[in-house]
């Protein structure tokens, strides 16, 4: 009977040790499984921290981490600067301008005036800077207008806007037939393509030896009278 009791006690002890061993193994497994998860969380947390740094944060040394959002901000600012430059209105092309000319001579003036109108019809803003080129076609050849010497402004024409400059020329009151004008050629500033128009002013220019008053072109925005 004593032997039987000892055997049962030994079996109970063995069962207890086995249960304890299983519990220890379960704890080890849980800790082992938790470690990769914790590592992933740490990694995620690191990415989040790096994401914060990329919004302008700093590292332990007080320096912006490489490849952070601070760099992106600089690029964006540079991009804005570039956009600012690209946003400037491009120059007006001849094909975008509606060019017309009318007689603008005021009674009593000793010089005739033709007003040339440049209207932006290109569907976008465009810029003009400098003087337009002006040539008169005559029965004696082409006569190029001289500039008045006044400063030429830079202007931006919105779509549909216009600007005018003046051409002045000597009136033929000599009583002679003079030099007959057959056409007006206008070249917008900083362009090479020209437009030929009917000449709306006096039919002829006086014949001179070159000492007379020349045909002159005023700057953009002049109200006529060559500026």
Give per-residue pLDDT as tens, 135-177: 999 999 999 999 998 998 899 999 999 999 999 999 998 877 8
The 10s digit of each residue's pLDDT in 2-17 is 444 444 444 444 444 4
pLDDT band at 192 (very low <50, low <70, confident <90, very high): very high
Q: How far apart are alpha carbons 39 and 203 in whole angstroms?
A: 94
The model's pTM:
0.60
């Amino acid at each position: 009977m004593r032997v039987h009791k000892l055997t049962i006690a030994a079996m109970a002890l063995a069962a207890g040790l086995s249960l304890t061993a299983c519990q220890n193994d379960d704890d080890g497994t849980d800790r082992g499984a938790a470690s990769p998860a914790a590592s992933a969380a740490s990694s995620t947390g690191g990415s989040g921290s790096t994401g914060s740094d990329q919004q302008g944060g700093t590292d332990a040394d007080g320096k912006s981490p490489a490849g952070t959002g601070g760099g992106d901000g600089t690029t964006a600012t540079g991009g804005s600067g570039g956009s600012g430059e690209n946003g400037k209105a491009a120059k007006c092309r001849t094909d975008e301008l509606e060019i017309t000319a009318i007689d603008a001579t005021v009674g009593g003036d000793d010089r005739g005036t033709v007003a040339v109108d440049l209207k932006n019809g290109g569907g976008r803003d465009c810029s003009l800077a400098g003087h337009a080129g002006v040539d008169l076609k005559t029965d004696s050849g082409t006569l190029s207008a001289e500039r008045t010497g006044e400063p030429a402004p830079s202007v931006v024409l919105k779509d549909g806007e216009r600007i005018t400059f003046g051409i002045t020329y000597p009136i033929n009151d000599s009583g002679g037939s003079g030099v007959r004008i057959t056409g007006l050629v206008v070249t917008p500033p900083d362009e090479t393509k020209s437009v030929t128009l009917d000449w709306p002013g006096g039919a002829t220019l006086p014949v001179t030896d070159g000492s007379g008053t020349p045909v002159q072109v005023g700057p953009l925005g002049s109200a006529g009278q060559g500026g």
